[in-house]
Amino acid sequence: MHDDRTITEVRLARFVRERIAPAIYARTVPLSLSSWDVADEPVPALEAMRQEFRPQEHGAAWGRPWGTTWLRLQGEVPESWGSGPDTAVEVVVDLGFTTEAPGFQCEGIAWRPDGSIIKAISPRNQYIPLKLLGTGMAVDFYVEAAANPDMAQGWTFAPTPLGDKATAGGAPQYRLGTIAIAELNQCVWELQQDVWTLAGLMEQLPLELPRRHEILRAFERMMDVMDPDDVAGTAAAGRQALATVLSRPAYASAHQLVATGHAHIDSAWLWPVRETIRKCARTFSNVVALMDEDPDFVFSCSSAQQLAWIKESYPELFSRIREKVRAGQFIPVGGMWVESDTNMPGGEAMARQFVEGKAFFLAEFGIECREAWLPDSFGYSAALPQIVKAAGSRWFLTQKISWNQTNRMPHHTFEWEGIDGTRLFTHFPPVDTYNSDLSGRDLAHAERNYRDHGRGTVSLVPFGFGDGGGGPTREMLAAAARTADLEGSPKVRIGSAESFFRQAEADYPALPVWVGEMYLELHRGTYTSQARTKKGNRRSEHLLREAELWCATAAVRAADGFEYPMAELRRLWQLVLLQQFHDILPGSSIAWVHKDAERNYQAIGTALESLISQAATALLGSGDRQFLLNAAPHARDGVAALGAGEPVPHPNAAQTTQHDGGYVLDNGIIRAVVDADGLLTSLRDYASGREAIAPGQRGNLLELHRDTPNEWDAWDIDEFYRRNVTPLVRAESVRLSSDDGNAVVVVERRVGTSTLTQHITLAPGSPSLEIATSVDWQEREKLLKLGFALDVRADRSAAETQFGHVFRPTHTNTSWEAAKFEICAHRWIHVGEPGYGVALSNSSTYGHDVCRSIRESDGGTTTTVRLSLLRAPKFPDPDADRGPHELTVTIRPGASIADAVQEGYRTNLAPRLVSGAAAVEPLFSVSNPALVVEAVKLAQDGSGDVVVRLYESLGERSAGSITAHFPVSNILATDLLERTVEAPGVMPGARGADLSLRPFQLVTLRFVRG
């Protein structure tokens, strides 16, 4: 037979484009339009409807960037429309949509005149069924049209002023398209879905497979029997020509796909939070409208924050969502407040994501989510398995690891083992997207890509337009129905995430194991971009620790009584958790988002300082004695951990002497030499006598790199940045400064067009040298690193993560190790060899790199640790990071892991000196410093019980005890949600508990007051 395949495929494409698609709405009549432009920020629907609407031309330009235009649509349905057996009447609204990037352009939501939501209008979902209007044959409703600019710009990553309302300008962004009453031909629409599904399948089948040619010939028969001049009249015949190939059942061994409706809505990204709230309303209104039409449709919705917004701003829609939750169609998943970043949030913040998220879902819907749902976060901390399990969940889903640049994950379904040994059933959907449209390409890719064939037979596919929202469409549901049992395709079943996980557990019992973090080999710049946002996060986390501790202590100890501010603390926690969303804290959002974040952090700080002050006053009373409120888990300046007492001054001041054009700083514990360039040439601790700085090398070396990633500017640091570096050796000045017993050297430098001042400080009694760097940063596309070349043969580094630390090799034996050229650490990083190590802590820095070299001079090993201080990407915020910054780093020679843990708290919990009358005994004492108290608070249920969260911090088996210093009637081990559980190694007693914990074990204890 002659090969006319290509000819027939081209014929089919044109037949669909020019004959079938136009015949779906064969008859249309324009609507009468009027409009009102909102002056500034969005207003409630009923307020908008009270305004004066003026006549609006069809096809007119509209919408300044981030503006809102309200349209009123009016008209009458022509007689006899929709009366045929295969016809229905709809309103079609095209706001000027483009064909690409559905969530990254203008959007709208349709409202009835009574202020109730109908459904959304979006690029791939432009219709409103007449029956939803509830006005018979009359049409009269409103569309709230949002002129969100296209920040994606075809993913060219070109700088744009559109990300800040102040610089976006006022030029119209869009031009109205067709807005009309239309008669839908249901048979033609069904034919279009038949063709789309079969054509997508055909394109994915191998040329040598008979099935591909069978479908092609069916298409040929379809086009032959249909009349191109009467598509509506012959559509049924066309469908009949395809019926045989559509009815053939799938192979018995076909891969199974559980398809769950989804709409990945970034809580902020290329739009501000205020627009996300409207995106949620648009998406969720579409979802419930689809559910009304299809009772089998299931939608998975993560992020309690987004549903909290709907409850507050769209109560009528929220009540409809509640109904669908009860019906088992609208299903909360994930159990987190937002889909947060997991690299940078601290341990307690990561725990609170689940505490607040699960509490919301339980309170509002009576549902406890059993899966963690993080498809798009930029890598996954090795501490997550334990945190997820401690929150009462049992499964984990991610997708983003499919973006790895270098290595491919070896499994799609596996057990993930965390730093403490906890294992978590994990799935990584082989469809490689969380925004599937259930096309033939997506389904075929999921089946081909699945790496566990022969052991497992099922995977998950989240479907629906996402990132900017939109969600599933009726076309996707049609595709799912057609591929439920279709030869050549995987078998598709609509279902919930939970139904998938239960099926997968039964299907694949002997799972492979992945140990440690799931490091994303991409987006490494997110550890550094938008430094002010990161500083706000770190500061807020520690202020929350202090506020909860002192408010709990005051509630138990204050003689005159003190009311624990539960509601206010939860509100502030939720605001901090929102900022940890995976495009806010990572610094990958538009300028508007980060300005909002900085304002939020300022407000959070003000509120928490007020709570701390109130609690301190209640605890200490009135007086002029100076007390140190020590919120750290270790004693400080003679004051017990978690208590308040008068600090014991160190007897000797730190000394400074001149040396070879520079200075020597010495406090009897460590000795540092700063040369005439302001660089650290020597650092010794007297206990070991060892030199920490490598021979011939220097520390405190600032280096400026070219930072021009191939794409994803704010997200990525590409490995080739290392090849273009300028060491900042020359100092403008190096001088001494007086500072109440501290030894301080001030170094001033110029970096391009930026100025930089460092205060190198050695305090009396301090085991570490502090380097505080102030920068007026005016660079673009540059990366500023601060490095220390250390005389340590370290095969691995230890970096703090949530409730512990993670080891990473310093060598690059494999591609997996080479890919980790930029890593995340929380408050500290440590490198060492047996018997000796060096710890570096920081106040707000997360990005680090560690490398090693062998010296020719003596054969020794130099391990270089560098901290990434600042970047200057141009997309999506062209002015990212420009302006003033203050960053603090400490370096501690002769340090163990335990010293590093302590140093991290010292650097991030600044001494808090308060005047008062009497010291305050801590609520708790812990006998072993390896057991670190991370949080002290009152119980969520308002009982007044005291809850303590602690963890084993050294990565070894540690035993000790915790003792309460207030009346206790019972002690219970709980999960993160404060429900009683069995906790291995916890032995409660009368006033405390004996603990024998495995490495990094996390424990929550409830002390019942009595």
3-state secondary structure of 648: coil
Confidence of residue 539 (pLDDT cuts 50, 70, 90): very high
pLDDT digits (tens, 9 = 90+) for 645-670: 999 988 888 999 999 999 999 999 99
Omega within 30 of 0 (cis) for the link into 878: no
pLDDT digits (tens, 9 = 90+) for 491-520: 999 999 999 999 999 999 999 999 999 999
- 341 is annotated as an active-site residue: no
Q: What string of H, E and C letters represents the secondary structure of 558-613?
A: CCCCCCCCHHHHHHHHHHHHHHCECCCCCCCCCHHHHHHHHHHHHHHHHHHHHHHH
Helix H or strand E segment including 277? helix 273-293
Out of 150, 164, 341, 376, which one is annotated catalytic?
Answer: 376
Q: Which amino acid is at 721?
A: Y
pLDDT digits (tens, 9 = 90+) for 963-987: 999 999 999 999 999 999 999 999 9
Whether 980 and 988 have beta carbons less than 8 Å apart is answered as no
Determine the Cα–Cα distance for residues 812 and 851; give it in Å rounded to an integer: 9
* Confidence (pTM): 0.97
Q: Which amino acid is at 994?
A: D
pLDDT digits (tens, 9 = 90+) for 9-49: 999 999 999 999 999 999 999 999 999 999 999 999 999 99
pLDDT digits (tens, 9 = 90+) for 213-224: 999 999 999 999
Whether 809 and 823 have beta carbons less than 8 Å apart is answered as no
Q: What is the pLDDT of residue 956?
A: 98
DSSP label at residue 915: E
Burial of 988-1007, coded b for 16+ CB within 10 Å and e otherwise, reads beeebbebebebbbbbbbbb
Determine the Cα–Cα distance for residues 60 and 174; give it in Å rounded to an integer: 8
Handedness of CA 980, 397, 438, 103 (dihedral sign): positive
Q: What is the pLDDT of residue 1?
A: 63
Whether 151 and 162 have beta carbons less than 8 Å apart is answered as yes
Sheet containing 127-129: give its strands across: 25-30, 179-185, 87-93, 127-129
Q: Which residues pair with 682 in a beta bridge?
A: 673
Whether 400 and 377 have beta carbons less than 8 Å apart is answered as yes
pLDDT digits (tens, 9 = 90+) for 582-598: 999 999 999 999 999 99
Q: What is the pLDDT of residue 134?
A: 85
Q: What angle do CA 156, 277, 535 make, to 5 degrees?
A: 70
Confidence of residue 295 (pLDDT cuts 50, 70, 90): very high
Task: Work out the mean pLDDT of the chain and round it to a whole number.
Answer: 97
Give the strand pairing for 54-55 and 61-62. unpaired
Determine the Cα–Cα distance for residues 967 and 605; give it in Å rounded to an integer: 33
Percent of the residues in the chain that have a pLDDT greater than 70, as a whole number:
100
